[in-house]
A and B are shown apart, each in its own frame.
Chain A
Amino acid sequence: GPKVLQIPSHQIIDMGQMVTLNCDPVSNHLYFYWYKQILGQQMEFLVNFYNGKVMEKSKLFKDQFSVERPDGSYFTLKIQPTALEDSAVYFCASSLVDRGYEQYFGPGTRLTVL
């Protein structure tokens, strides 16, 4: 099926530092998402992004989080500054159309905040 890529696969940083997680969505997809998964638990929605704007975000999407996709390049999630509780696997997803269409997920970036 369609492939979403994520870079890096694993990132270790010190608390308080900034981190940027990169996502290369499926080429003709228009809607982009970030999810957070802690220790194999359920996936939790963070944010949905379309046409350069955040459409919806959850309570987990703290003020320290931001997303962007400058000029059709990577869709990024930036955390500045990071906190210990940000340690998790972050999954990027994309979909062709928003509501009824399934999302395709990347392999995830494991973020470890020390």
Chain B
Amino acid sequence: AQKVTQTQTSISVMEKTTVTMDCVYETQDSSYFLFWYKQTASGEIVFLIRQDSYKKENATVGHYSLNFQKPKSSIGLIITATQIEDSAVYFCAMREGGGGYKVVFGSGTRLLVSP
């Protein structure tokens, strides 16, 4: 069964610094997809970035990038030059590439960015 684990419950950083959020996953599939979402204070869930398991290059979108370490089943999210508005809860999620349709989410990491 697939599982996604985020061990950091909350992180506090100063504005304009770089932060890394950890995520490890479990799956029996050789092909899978990994996602990071952000949930704002208003509850809105925003898709941030995605990594396909067969791709070796780490995905990058804007000031978000991923540290994909497939042998360790790890997909860290890196946010560079953090801004106040990056304060939110960040969820890691995974979908298997086989017959399953569901996406499994981690428990989330709350990020607080201070001025």
Binding site for B on A (CB under 8 A): 1, 31, 33, 35, 40-45, 48, 55-56, 58, 89, 91, 98-100, 102-105, 107-108
| Residue of B46, B89, B95, B106 with most partner-chain A CB within 10 A | B95
Interface SS, B side: strand
B100 and A42 within 8 A (CB): no
B101 and A55 within 8 A (CB): yes
- CA A48 to CA B106, docked complex, whole Å: 19
- CA A33 to CA B100, docked complex, whole Å: 13
- Chain B's closest residue to A4 (CB) is B45
B35 and A98 within 8 A (CB): no
| Residue of A33, A43, A108 with most partner-chain B CB within 10 A | A43
Enumerate chain B residues within 8 angstroms of A31, measured Cβ to Cβ.
101
Apart from A41-B108, A45-B103, 20 more pairs, CB < 8 Å: A1-B47, A31-B101, A33-B103, A35-B105, A41-B107, A42-B105, A42-B106, A42-B107, A44-B105, A48-B102, A56-B100, A58-B102, A89-B43, A98-B101, A100-B52, A102-B35, A102-B47, A103-B47, A104-B47, A105-B47
